[in-house]
Homo-oligomer: A and B are copies of this chain.
Amino acid sequence: MKKNQMGEFARFIEEKGLKSTTQRDEIVNVFFTLKDHVSIEELHHKVQKKNPKIGYTTVYRTLKLLTESGLAHERQFGDGQARYEPVTTEEHHDHLICLRCGTILEFENKKIEKLQEDVAKQHGFEVKNHKLELYGYCKKCRK
């Protein structure tokens, strides 16, 4: 799976006429070993543990490329900084976010998706994408 994603990234770079660099490869590699919804700064830290020379800007630009290629999703959880996650499956999902410990769980519910479409239709809207986030306390954090 990681192999595959690295390959897809290489193909994207190739198709766009961009160049293959070790920095990008290292960044993308670390990114795909992470499961979670990571911020640019967090990823930069992780990457620097392997190669301290890699700068924030390159991490930023590589995440933009990953997003553009469809291999990552950019998320805005309202805390003022973007988070990125690998697109592993084709499945859309939404999020449960713990207000205390920051844990982020994913879920998918077809009924909700269907009802969203119904609502949009009632208002003459054509939905392109949506955001559903449930904020609260996770199993560990609620008392």
Contact = CB atoms under 8 A, between A and B. Distances in A.
Interface of A: 76, 78, 96, 98-99, 105, 107, 109, 111-112, 115-116, 119-120, 122-139, 142
A54 to B, nearest CB: 26
Given A112-B115, A115-B111, A115-B115, A127 B135 contact: yes
B135 A132 contact: no
A133 B94 CA distance: 12
Nearest to A128: B136
Nearest to A131: B133
B136 A133 contact: no
A116 to B, nearest CB: 6
Nearest to A117: B134
23 contacts: A78-B131, A96-B120, A98-B125, A105-B125, A107-B119, A107-B123, A109-B119, A112-B112, A112-B119, A116-B132, A119-B134, A123-B138, A124-B139, A124-B142, A125-B134, A125-B138, A126-B137, A128-B136, A128-B137, A129-B136, A130-B132, A131-B131, A131-B133
Q: Which of A115, A125, A126 has the most CB of B within 10 A?
A: A125
